Amino acid sequence: MTGWRGRTPAAFFLGSTALLAAGAIAAARGADELSRGTWAVATVLGLALSLLWTARSILARRTTVDVIALGGALWVGEQFAGAMVTVMLASGRLLEARASARADRELRLLVERTPRTARRRDRDGVARIPVEQVAVGDVLVVGTGEVVPVDARALTAGTFDESALTGEPMPVDRPVGDDVRSGVVNAAAPVDLVATSTADESTYAHVVRLVEQAQAASSPFVRTADRFAALLVPLTLAVAAVAWAVAGSPDRAVAVLVVATPCPLLLAAPVAIMSGLSRASRIGVVVKGGAALEALAAGEVVLFDKTGTLTRGRPELTSVVLAAEPPRAGSGSPATSPVPYAVSRAVTSDELVRLAASLDQVSPHPLASALVRAARSRGLALELPTGVREVPGHGLEGRVGGVAVRLGKAAWVVGTGDPAWLRRARRRAALDGCLTVFAAVDGRPAGAFLLEDPIRPDAPRMVAALRRAGIRRTVLLTGDRAEVAESVGRIVGTDAVLADHDPAEKLAAVHEESATARTVMVGDGVNDAPALAAAGVGVALAARGATASSEAADVVLSVDRVDAVADAILIARRSRRIAVQAVVVGMGLSLVAMLVATAGLLPAAAGAVLQEGIDVLAIGIALRALLPSRLHSVPMSPSDVATAARLRPAHDAAAAVVEQVRDVADGLRTHDCDLGPVRALLDRLERELVPHERADEEELMPVVARALGSSATTTMSRTHAEIEHQVARLRRLLEGLDDAEAPDGAAEVPAGDVTELRRLLYGLYAVCRLHNQQEEEGAFALVPAPSGSPPSAHESR
């Protein structure tokens, strides 16, 4: 019986639609009696179910217009209108039923991810048991890639992916004695843990309960027509009663009821909302029903998760710090070089990336893919490593083309020393919030890789667009550290930053914001699910796969672009505005018709025809929501998209050249200055960077101008010229130093010239870094992303 009740809305919708279609076919063949009879059956079906639902609505202290609409249609013989009202009633009930069942679906992925078993170690070995049997004090074994079943304490050191709880994509090292929460994934070798809680009391079970509690407090789906029913029902009855009393005949009252049929409410408003849903789906935004669209349109405060929402959600290589420059000619062998920790041979930045990426090709570590992507973006040829060995808690080592390569933590790669390059790498990591991976070549330290989770290039424009659209407050809400969160919030432009928030604290923050304004929460991880469910409307980024957040959300972005949030809000607001216009025009004309019918100037037959015209007009207004409108995303022609895609690889490759500028500047010494690396850098700048900037000016800037207007290219064009100017200055400075240098190259470079050279390089580096971000945000971020794009101060390995 319960199953049948669950299927009743769908059966009602299919049955009423079939009856409406059958009546239309009969009318087309001239069988008027049959068509009217068929439509009357549909109207009676709707009236019967409407009476039942009206009784329930009265008990719930809600008024509906369904009974009066259907009863009036039967009374005046408007069978077709009654059948149409029945179909719209059925579709509304079907949407309501689907929305009310959403709570079960929202928990599905959370429950599926919940561990069902655990491996317990005892005197007889390791046995798999139901997770409910785990007791406090049990020793558990968690293998690579397995989910920690209960809260526990580490008995052996391990590395864990805690993104399901914190949203932070970077793996976290847990030494012996550290607490490990349930729901996190073991990202390294198997570890032993001692349980500190039972399954029911664990962190992950608490997250599931938070979603349940938040959804229990959510408002139910309410149809647009019901919002006006409280005024429409008594008004219609009162006007009909007055008309009857004045005329002394029910005919005039019937005429009033005919023109008072609330089709603009039951038809036009849902059409506008459904058109908005369709419009949103075309840009990769799935809105789960009209109520979600209306809530999105009404949003005043938007809260963003950080990782995977405002940032890409995956680490990327941002810089390479070399342990030492290649030894100068005549300066002695590397073994006797005065530079501490000199490598056994000259290793450039690109060569070190190539060696590390070749080794990391076979590593399952979360950071390995970042180095492989960096090598491929630089066009480096990778080799398959041999003799690969992973040392849990330390790193990875193997041979690449006969060269021994080691990657991992500083203590394992560098040893106990504290050379200048190591301090420099750690200082940069602390300032930029980066992770560090250290590398050794042939048994000697070679350098360090700095990785960070970069900000999405479309995020700053999106936040600005939300502000222009009327959103009065934006908040960054994250579980990450305050210094990292504040840096992201500052760059993106949010009004407030709330950092170090776990799922429960995120939920509390959403409740606090919701107390004073209608909220929109945007996130992508399991840890965001409670906040998404509690907000006025939840928006989930799901381009990289379904998660509990996409199930808990009201709106799901299937494109890997956060600026689709701004487009979705603009579409929602326009659809709601058009729905209101359709209702106001339709019901306004109906009200005028009611007054005319009350005066006896509009008979029932003419009123029925007029009412149909009003319905058609209202629906026509509502269908405007399907028409294209101006969005935040800028449409680009296929040729412009192709041009930007063709220039993108050179843009990515230029980043390595820019990083070399800082590396060379760092390596300049006031005494015994070697200009060889500077000359090599200048040659690369003139061969790669300057031609790239000229190509961007000639080809990319026209693309941006066509998309955003010519004023949008002014700053980028100016930096193109500045970069070329600074490279020309570098050449003139080097030529002046070459003229003063002795033929054998032994002349000392004046300290003032070294300072000027270092100042010029650092200035060029700053301009290039800023310019690259300008092109990311102002040019390449405009290119539409395909649906379902692939995923894209700490030490870690």
Query: So which residues are the catalytic ones?
Result: 305
CA 542 to CA 288: how far, in whole Å? Answer: 14
CA 713 to CA 697: how far, in whole Å? Answer: 9
Q: Which residues contact 14 (CB under 8 A, 6 or more apart)?
A: none
Burial tier of 140 (Cβ tally within 10 Å: 0-12, 13-18, 19+): buried
Token pair 């609505």 is found at: 57
Can you give 692-719 as a three-state secondary structure string? HHHHHHHHHHHHHHHHHCHHHHHHHHHH
Burial tier of 712 (Cβ tally within 10 Å: 0-12, 13-18, 19+): middle
- C-beta of residue 719 within 8 angstroms of C-beta of residue 763: no
| DSSP character string of 204-248 | HHHHHHHHHHHHHTSPPP--HHHHHHHHHHHHHHHHHHHHHHHHT
> CA torsion angle for 296, 300, 305, 310 (degrees, to 10)?
90
Give the angle subtended at the CA of 304 by the CAs of 299 and 307, to the nearest 5°. Answer: 160
Q: What are phi and psi of 331, to 5 degrees?
A: -95, 5
Rounded (10°) angle between helices 714-740 and 676-684: 140
3-state SS assignment for residue 110: helix
Token pair 């690969």 is found at: 388
Give the closest residue to 479 by CA, choosing from 689, 295, 309: 309
Give the angle subtended at the CA of 633 by the CAs of 627 and 635, to the nearest 5°. Answer: 70
CA 102 to CA 216: how far, in whole Å? Answer: 11
Within 630-764, strands assigned E span none
Q: Which residues contact 362 (CB under 8 A, 6 or more apart)?
A: 384, 385, 388, 398
Give the closest residue to 325 by CA, choosing from 355, 352, 348: 348
Token pair 């009654």 is found at: 82
Token pair 């390294």 is found at: 188
The region that residue 395 occupies, defined by phi over 0 for left and psi between -120 and 50 for alpha, beta otherwise, is left
Can you give 582-615 as a three-state secondary structure string? HHHHHHHHHHHHHHHHHCCCCCHHHHHHHHHHHH
Q: What are phi and psi of 445, to 5 degrees?
A: -55, 135
Q: Measuring CA to CA, how many Å separate 655 from each of 342, 651, 690, 759, 776?
A: 26, 7, 13, 20, 12
H-run or E-run covering 439: strand 435-441
- C-beta of residue 276 within 8 angstroms of C-beta of residue 625: yes
Return the structure tokens found at 531. Answer: 């906040």
Q: Which residues contact 299 (CB under 8 A, 6 or more apart)?
A: 471, 518, 519, 520, 536, 537, 569
Token pair 């659809």 is found at: 575
Return the structure tokens found at 651. Answer: 């843009």
Token pair 């394992």 is found at: 412
End-to-end CA distance of the chain: 57
Burial tier of 35 (Cβ tally within 10 Å: 0-12, 13-18, 19+): buried
